[in-house]
Chains A and B, each alone.
Chain A
Amino acid sequence: MTNLDYFMAAYIFVWVGVFIYLLKLQRDQNRLRKELKSLKRIMAKGRDENKKI
C-alpha cells in the first residue's frame, strides 16, 4: 500500500462513519414521523367517534 492509499482509507473511513451516523439519525426521524402519523390517525378517529355519540 502506498501513502496515498493509507490517506484515502483514513479519509473514506471518516466520511463513511459520519454518513452512517447521519443515516441512523434519518432512520430514527422517519420512524418517529410514522409513529406520530399513526397516533394522529388514532386521535382523529377517536374525535370522530366522540362526535357521533
Chain B
Amino acid sequence: MQRDSLEKILIGLTFLSMMIALYAIFIYAPLEATMGLIQKIWYFHLAAAWIAFLAYFHVFLAGILYLWKRERRFDILGRSSAEIGILFNTLVLITGSIWAKPVWGTWWTWDPRLSTTLILWILYIAYLMIRTSSEDDSKGARLAAVFGIVAFIDVPIVYMSIRWWRTIHPVIFKLKGTEVNPAMIITLLISLAAFTLFYFCLLHQRISLEKIKDELELIEDKLMEVKRK
C-alpha cells in the first residue's frame, strides 16, 4: 500500500475514533454521583497524560537508538515526540488544574503527582532548549539524546507518585483492579485509542516537516557549492 493512502487511512481512523470518543464522553458515559459533569474532564486529562508518557517514551527510545546508530531519523523522532509530549503535558496540567478548582477548592497544590508532572514538563522544555540552542547540530543531537534518556526517569516517578507518597490525587487503577463504573472504563479506553491515533497523526506530520527541512538544507548547500564554483 502507498504511503499516501496509509496516511489518509490513519487520518480517517483518527477522525472516526474522535467522533466515537466524543459520543461516548457526552452521551454514553454516566454522570459520576459526587462530582457530576466535572468528572468528564477525566477522559481528556487521562488521555492527554497517556499521550505525554507515550511521546516521552519515544524520546527515550529515540535517544538510545541515536546514540547507538547515529542516524538523523532518530534525532528527528526524539525532537518531534518531545514537542508533542510537551503539548499534551501542558494540557494535562491545565485540565488537571481546572478539575482541581471545584473538587479540591484550589487551582494548584504542591501534591507529589502535580509536582512531579510539572517537573516532567520543565525537563522536556529543557530537552527542546538543549536540542535547538547548540550551534553544532550533531553535538546538540547527542546532548539531547542523553538528556532525553535521563529525563525519562521522571515518567515512572510521576506514575508511581500517588502510590509511593501521601497524596490527595485519586488513584484509579489499583493492584486489585478498579472500582470505576464499566461504562466509564469503556469510554476512557475509547478516548485513549482516539488520542493515540491522533498522536501518531501529529507525529507523522511533524516528522515529515523535519524531513522537508533537511531536504531544503541539502538543496541550499548544493546551490551554495555551485555558486562558489
**Footprint of B on A, CB under 8 Å?**
1, 3-4, 6-7, 9-11, 13-14, 17-18, 21, 25, 28-29, 32, 35-36, 39, 42-43, 46
Per the bound structure, the CA–CA distance linking A28 and B220 in Å amounts to 18
**Footprint of A on B, CB under 8 Å?**
35-38, 40-41, 44-45, 48, 84, 87, 90-91, 94-95, 98-99, 101-102, 198, 202, 205-206, 209, 212-213, 216, 219-220, 223, 226
Per the bound structure, the CA–CA distance linking A51 and B102 in Å amounts to 73
Chain A residues near B91: list those with CB within 8 A: 13-14, 17-18
Main secondary structure of the interface of B (DSSP, over half): helix
Beyond known contacts A13-B94, A32-B209: 20 more, CB 8 A cutoff: A3-B102, A6-B101, A7-B41, A10-B45, A13-B91, A14-B44, A14-B95, A17-B91, A18-B91, A21-B202, A25-B205, A29-B209, A32-B212, A32-B213, A32-B216, A35-B216, A36-B216, A39-B223, A42-B223, A43-B219
Per the bound structure, the CA–CA distance linking A43 and B216 in Å amounts to 13
Q: Are A39 and B219 in contact (CB under 8 A)?
A: yes
Per the bound structure, the CA–CA distance linking A36 and B218 in Å amounts to 11
B131 vs chain A, min Cβ distance (A): 16
Q: Are B95 and A10 in contact (CB under 8 A)?
A: yes
Closest A residue to B201 by beta carbon equals A22
Per the bound structure, the CA–CA distance linking A39 and B205 in Å amounts to 23
Q: Are A6 and B102 in contact (CB under 8 A)?
A: yes
Main secondary structure of the interface of A (DSSP, over half): helix
A45 vs chain B, min Cβ distance (A): 11
Per the bound structure, the CA–CA distance linking A29 and B210 in Å amounts to 10
Chain B residues near A13: list those with CB within 8 A: 91, 94-95, 98
Per the bound structure, the CA–CA distance linking A6 and B205 in Å amounts to 32
